Amino acid sequence: MLDLLLEPTKMFVKGGIDVFRRSKEHKNLLIVVQDRVRREVRFNSALLQEFNKCDKNKNTFKHDEQLRVALVKSLQTEAFDEVNKGVLPLALFFETELLKDEIWPKSATNWPEKEKYLGWLKNVNTQYDLLERVYHRIKLTKTFAECGKIQGNINYVYFMLIGFEKSIANTAVCKYT
pLDDT at residue 71, as a whole number: 92
| DSSP reduced 3-state for 126 | strand
Question: Measuring CA to CA, which residue among 141, 133, 128, 140 is closest to residue 160?
Answer: 133
pLDDT at residue 163, as a whole number: 95
Number of domains making up the chain: 1
Q: Give the torsion sign (CA, 66, 72, 78, 84).
A: negative
pLDDT at residue 89, as a whole number: 78
Q: Within the chain, which residues score under 70 in pLDDT?
A: 1-23, 26, 54-63, 170-177
Which structural domain range is residue 113 located in? 2-176
| DSSP reduced 3-state for 97 | strand
pLDDT at residue 133, as a whole number: 96
With 0.85 as the threshold, say if the pTM is over it.
no
